[in-house]
Amino acid sequence: MRFRGLLLGDIRFQFKYGFYFLYVLLTFVFIAVINAVPAAFKAKTAAVIIFTDPATLGIFFMGAIILLEKSQRVLNSLAVSPIKIWEYIAAKVVSLSIISTTVGFVLGVAAGAGGIASVALGTFLGSVLFTLLGIIIAAQTNSLNRFIITTVPAMLFLMVPPFFELFGYDSNIFNLYPSNIVLRIIAGNAENWLLEIPAVAMWIIFFYVIAHGRVSKMLRSIGGIKL
Amino acid sequence: MIRVKDLSFSYTGKPFLENISFEVGRGEIFGFLGPSGAGKSTLQKILTGLLSDYRGSAVVNGIEVKRHTNSFYENIGVDFEFPSLYEKLTAKQNLEFFGLLYQRKLITIPDLLRMVHLENDADKKVSDFSKGMKSRLNFIKALLHNPDILFLDEPTSGLDPSNSYDMKKIIKAERDRGKTIILTTHNMLDATELCDRVAFIVDGKIKALDTPHNLIMSKGAAKLCYAYFEGREKSGECLLSHTGSDELLKKLISDNKLLSIHSSEPTLNDIFMEITGRALQ
């Protein structure tokens, strides 16, 4: 009931702030781009677009959402309500994954991607990872500038290795790197599911544990302690 | 409902709250009064479970606060001094959202909005609300789940006299229904009017704790002030208990020479300054 409330609240918040409208527009733009490239490159182009946008949108949207919640002091009320930290995090992750996965699915269909379930799964896993990363960063920042400055190295760290792999640089170092696995799944290149899915699940658990700690500190800082 | 014993707290190693002890019963309005930085908000944060590394004991609703679980908040309502509302949502949507966070039976949204005269603004975005309207909405948000304990931080701040009067009426009505209310304020008039008991907090310590009436009567005797004409307008004063021994006053009365006469009781603010040596506002 409480999780449902938080989830509906987050979806309503995202709708009111135009996230859905923005992604309807962007989806049309992305479809136009995919249709403009030669057929041989469609699938790869779609994979790049899905990986760099819907799969990673969570990190930026999370910054916007949490900083708005901080500026409107909504977190004060949430801190003295019966919600649990996992409910707060899960509502944000699930609500943004709905947008990401839907857009990823639509773009996959538009590109005529063979394994559409794989595209949707990869987009979903990427969304969860990057939303958790957004929570980790946003929970400890109080300004948009600081959020952006902190996001850049995190994005480089996660975004560069998958592109090396996508464009042919083959190295075993990044076999179990979370963003590499996500792009591999989106692009339909995943071969070792039994290893890759548990690996990405472990990364998600790792990010979640850090996010849980950050949100806990954020709510405690409302109580006046800056840790 | 609330029992605090030998409570101490420190942000930095240096004591911030020291040996605070008091009890608040069901159906009582208890005021924390003190200048900014005195420790009122910190005390409220401890009682609402936001700060847990305190020493001593703070029991709220039978639960030692540092060991509270999330269900602790089912029975507590907090009205922060500054609105904590989603600006892009309407008043009704805000109340619906926060209502979904509680398991308890809620007070209906139309009833709450009517209580603070916002029934015609239910579908208006909070960003279009005035400061006073936001304060009133924030207040009813704390009442939404009908908690037994209410923490109110400057509840009349930003309200016009009429809405301030109505707000105080609602607070007293909630007290009469059996709610325990902790009021944090700078406003001595509100405290005198609303609180059954007040605690003066200065430098992290309780300097006095009693009913406003007892504090006023114990520390400052009422005076009689009078004015008369003797070449120019002059004034005099004496303690109300010594009226019969003021020879000048007796003569002025017998000669019908008084221009004005009135009794003058000290205010809670006067008592606060006398006890603590500090100004409140």
First to last CA, chain A: 32
Convert the pLDDT of each residue in A50-62 to its tens digit: 999 999 888 999 9
Helix (H, G, I), strand (E, B) or coil at A81: coil
- Residues in A 6-25 with any Cβ partner in B closer than 8 A: 6, 8-9, 12-13, 16-17
- CB contacts under 8 A, B 23-42 vs A, are 41-42
Report the number of distinct structural domains present in chain A: 1
Which residue in B66, B73, B89, B97 has the most chain A C-beta atoms within 10 A of its own C-beta, making it the best mutation to test that interface?
A: B97
Residue A30: predicted pLDDT: 93
Phi, psi of B183, deg, nearest 5: -115, 125
281 residues of chain B, pLDDT tens digit each: 899 999 999 888 788 888 999 999 999 999 998 887 788 888 988 999 988 889 999 999 999 999 999 899 999 999 988 899 999 999 999 999 999 999 989 999 999 999 999 999 999 999 999 999 999 999 999 999 999 999 999 888 888 999 999 999 999 999 999 999 999 988 888 888 999 999 988 888 898 899 988 888 776 567 888 999 988 899 998 888 888 888 999 999 998 989 999 887 777 888 888 777 766 55
Is residue B146 within 8 angstroms of chain A, CB to CB?
A: no
Of A2, A12, A80, the CB nearest to B89: A12
Q: Do B89 and A80 touch (CB under 8 A)?
A: no
Contact list in A for residue B100 (CB cut-off 8 A) is: 1-2, 4-6, 8-9
Of A6, A75, A82, the CB nearest to B102: A82
Chain B residue with the nearest C-alpha to that of A75: B84
Report yes or no: B84 and A77 within 8 Å, Cβ to Cβ: yes
d(CA B7, CA B21): 7
Closest-approach residue (CA) in chain A for B46: A223
Cα B272 to chain centroid, rounded: 14
pLDDT at B187: 84
Q: How confident is the model at residue A103 (pLDDT cuts 50, 70, 90)?
A: very high
Write the residue in B11, B50, B101 that is nearest to A2 by C-beta. B101
Average pLDDT, chain A: 90
pTM, rounded to two decimals: 0.86
The tokens describing B120, both together, are: 């015609």
Q: What's the pLDDT score for residue A111?
A: 86
CB–CB contact A84 B70 (8 Å): yes
Domain that holds residue A158: 2-224
Contact between residue B223 and residue B261 where contact means Cβ atoms under 8 Å apart? no
Give the model's pLDDT for residue A226: 43
Tell whether A91 lies on the interface with B, counting CB pairs under 8 A.
no
Closest C-alpha among A28, A56, A35 to residue A112: A35
Strands (E), B13-128: 17-24, 29-33, 55-60, 63-64, 76-79
Task: Give the chain A residue whose CA is nearest to the CA of B90.
Answer: A16
Tens-digit pLDDT profile for residues A58-93 = 899 998 999 999 999 999 999 999 999 999 999 999
* Share in percent of chain A as helix, strand, coil (round to 5): 80, 0, 20
